[in-house]
C-alpha cells in the first residue's frame, strides 16, 4: 500500500472523487502497547469494533494475543489471519453450529453465557467438553456510558446464583464478565460493576478463576473528553484485588473502541453547500453510522494547503444517498468559507465507523491509504504536533 505523509497530502495528490479511508497503523500499535503494558491483566481486542485484517496483524505485532469474537465469521477471520491467537467467543447468545465449529475446528475453549439454556447448548455443541472456560455475563448499569449495553444481555441478580453454580459444575475455569456500555466516561462505571460481581460471588459461594471487565474504555471525541485511562486501570485493579476470588484468578478486559478509534479517519469531498448544510460523499450508510443514528460528533478538519482564516462555524452533513435519514446533525466545526470541491477529514472513525460501511444506493468506497501523521485526537499521543493542534482534542 502506498504511504502518504498526511491527510492533506492524500487530498492534494489524489483529489479523490469517492471517500478514502486513511489508516494509521502506528496509532493502533501505540494503543495496543499501552494496554499490553499498563492494563493490570490481559487485554482481548473486541474484533467487532473493526475487523480489518491489517489492524488485527498490527495489534498482534504490538502485544495483543487474545481476541473477543462474537460470530462464527469473526472466529474464522481471526483464526485465518492470526493462527496462533487465542479466541474467546463472548456473545452470550450463539448458534449451536457456531459453537461446535468454534470448538471442534478452531480450538476455541472460552465462551460467555447468561442463561442455563445457553450453558446446555454449549455443552451439547462441545460434546460435554471438560476443558471449557465459561464466563457468566452479569447485567450491570450503563449509567456512566454514552452507549448503553444494559438491556440486551446479562443475567439478573436474582438468577445469578443458580447460573454460577451450574456453570461452575460444568467449567474447567469459571469466569464472570460484564460490559459497562461503550464510551464509559468515568472509572466509577467499573468500580460499581465490580461491586455487583462481589455480591454475585458471595451469594453463590463459588470459586471464580477469571474476572473479565469487558469493553467500554473510552476514546476522545468533541464534547467527550474522558479521564486518563490509567484512572480506569487503577479503579479496576483496586476492585479486582478486593474480590473474594482464587489467588491465581486472572483479570481480563475486552477493549474495542479504545484500541481502534485512532486507527482510521475518512477524507470526504463536499459536493454542495446549502447554508450551514454540507452535502458530502460519505454518510449514514457509510462510515458515519454513529454520527447519523446517535448524533455522535466526530472531529473534522478542512484540508486546504493555505489554512482558512474564516471563523469556525457549526455545519450539519448530508450523506450521498437519496435518503433523508442520511443526515448527520453535528454540529461539525469548519471554517465558514468551506465550499463545494473542498476536502474534509473526519477523524476517529477506526471504531464502529469503517466497519459499518454498506453499499446502499451504490455509494461505497474501498479506497484505503496509509498515512504517517497523528490522528485528529488521541488518548495516547504526547506531545501533539503543531500542524494539527487546532483540531486535536487533548487531555490536559
Ligand X SMILES: Cc1ncc(COP(=O)(O)O)c(C=O)c1O
Binding site for ligand X (CB under 6 A): 46, 48-49, 68, 90, 149, 179, 182, 214-217, 254-258, 351
Q: What is the closest distance, in whole angstroms, from the C-beta atom of residue 300 to ligand X in the complex?
A: 22
Q: What is the DSSP letter of 385?
A: P
- Residue 77 or 371: the one with the smaller Cβ distance to ligand X is 77
What is the Cα 268 distance to its own chain's centre?
22
Asked whether the beta carbons of 261 and 290 are under 8 A apart, the reply is: no
Q: What is the closest distance, in whole angstroms, from the C-beta atom of residue 262 to ligand X in the complex?
A: 13
Report the residue closest to ligand X, judged by CB: 215
Greatest distance between any 2 Cα atoms in the chain: 68
Number of Cβ atoms within 10 Å of the Cβ of 128: 10
| Cα separation, 359 vs 134, whole angstroms | 38
- Residue 29 or 351: the one with the smaller Cβ distance to ligand X is 351
Q: What is the closest distance, in whole angstroms, from the C-beta atom of residue 4 to ligand X in the complex?
A: 28
Q: What is the closest distance, in whole angstroms, from the C-beta atom of residue 360 to ligand X in the complex?
A: 23
Cell reading at 352: 464502529
Burial 69-82 (b: 16+ CB within 10 A, else e): bbbbebbbbbbebb
Return the residue matching grid coordinates 463536499: 270
- Residue 81 or 182: the one with the smaller Cβ distance to ligand X is 182
Q: Using alpha carbons, select from 288, 138, 271, 268 the residue that is nearest to residue 213.
A: 138
Cell reading at 122: 454449549
**Sign of the CA dihedral with 195 first, then 197, 201, and 206 last:** negative
The catalytically annotated residue of 88, 127, 177, 322 is 322
- Residue 60 or 252: the one with the smaller Cβ distance to ligand X is 252
Active site residue 135: no
Q: What is the closest distance, in whole angstroms, from the C-beta atom of residue 91 to ligand X in the complex?
A: 7
- Residue 7 or 229: the one with the smaller Cβ distance to ligand X is 229
- Residue 365 or 378: the one with the smaller Cβ distance to ligand X is 378
Number of Cβ atoms within 10 Å of the Cβ of 241: 10
Question: Phi first, then psi: what are they for 34, rounded to 5°?
Answer: -60, -50
Q: What is the closest distance, in whole angstroms, from the C-beta atom of residue 181 to ligand X in the complex?
A: 7
Q: Which residues, 6 or more positions from 281, have their beta carbon under 8 angstroms from its beta carbon?
A: 17, 18, 19, 268, 269, 271, 319, 320, 363
Q: Using alpha carbons, select from 294, 287, 352 the residue that is nearest to residue 320.
A: 287
Q: What is the closest distance, in whole angstroms, from the C-beta atom of residue 144 to ligand X in the complex?
A: 12
Q: Reduce the secondary structure of 104-161 to three states and give it as a string.
A: HHHCCCEEEECCHHHHHHHHHHCCCCCCCEEEEEECCCCCCEEECCCCCCCECHHHHH
- Residue 67 or 315: the one with the smaller Cβ distance to ligand X is 67
Q: Give me the active site residues, please.
A: 322
Amino acid at each position: 500500500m502506498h504511504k502518504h505523509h498526511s491527510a492533506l497530502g492524500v487530498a492534494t495528490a489524489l483529489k479523490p472523487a469517492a471517500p478514502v479511508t486513511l489508516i494509521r497503523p502506528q496509532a493502533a500499535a501505540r494503543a495496543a502497547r499501552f494496554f499490553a503494558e499498563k492494563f493490570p491483566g490481559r487485554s482481548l481486542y473486541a474484533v467487532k469494533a473493526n475487523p480489518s485484517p491489517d489492524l488485527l496483524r498490527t495489534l498482534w505485532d504490538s502485544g495483543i494475543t487474545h481476541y473477543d469474537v462474537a460470530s462464527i465469521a469473526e472466529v474464522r477471520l481471526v483464526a485465518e489471519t492470526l493462527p496462533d491467537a487465542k479466541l474467546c467467543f463472548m456473545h452470550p447468545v450463539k448458534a449451536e453450529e457456531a459453537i461446535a465449529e468454534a470448538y471442534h475446528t478452531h480450538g476455541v475453549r472460552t465462551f460467555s453465557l447468561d442463561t442455563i439454556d445457553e450453558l446446555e447448548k454449549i455443552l451439547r455443541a462441545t460434546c460435554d467438553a471438560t476443558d471449557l472456560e465459561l464466563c457468566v455475563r452479569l447485567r450491570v448499569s450503563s449509567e456512566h456510558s454514552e452507549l448503553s449495553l444494559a438491556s440486551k444481555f446479562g443475567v439478573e441478580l436474582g438468577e445469578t446464583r443458580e447460573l454460577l453454580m451450574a456453570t461452575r459444575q460444568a467449567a474447567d475455569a469459571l469466569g464472570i464478565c460484564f460490559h459497562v456500555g461503550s464510551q464509559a466516561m468515568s472509572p466509577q462505571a467499573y468500580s460499581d460493576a465490580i461491586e455487583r460481581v462481589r455480591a454475585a460471588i458471595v451469594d453463590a459461594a463459588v470459586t471464580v478463576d477469571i474476572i473479565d471487565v469487558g469493553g467500554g474504555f473510552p476514546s476522545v471525541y468533541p464534547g467527550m473528553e474522558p479521564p486518563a485511562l490509567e484512572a480506569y486501570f487503577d479503579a479496576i485493579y483496586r476492585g479486582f484485588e478486593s474480590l473474594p476470588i482464587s489467588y491465581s484468578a486472572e483479570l481480563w478486559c475486552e477493549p474495542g473502541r479504545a484500541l481502534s478509534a485512532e486507527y482510521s479517519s475518512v477524507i470526504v469531498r463536499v459536493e454542495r453547500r446549502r447554508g450551514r448544510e454540507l452535502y458530502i460523499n460519505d454518510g449514514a450508510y457509510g462510515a458515519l453510522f454513529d454520527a447519523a443514528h446517535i448524533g455522535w460528533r466526530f472531529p473534522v478538519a478542512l484540508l486546504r494547503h493555505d489554512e482558512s482564516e474564516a471563523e469556525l462555524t457549526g455545519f450539519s452533513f448530508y450523506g450521498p444517498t437519496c435518503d433523508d435519514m442520511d443526515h448527520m446533525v453535528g454540529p461539525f466545526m469548519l471554517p465558514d468559507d468551506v465550499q463545494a470541491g473542498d476536502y474534509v477529514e473526519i477523524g476517529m472513525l477506526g471504531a464502529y465507523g469503517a466497519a459499518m460501511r454498506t453499499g446502499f444506493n451504490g455509494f461505497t468506497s474501498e479506497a484505503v491509504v496509509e498515512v504517517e501523521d497523528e490522528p485528529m485526537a488521541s488518548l495516547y499521543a504526547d506531545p501533539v504536533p503543531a500542524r494539527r493542534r487546532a483540531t486535536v482534542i487533548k487531555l490536559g
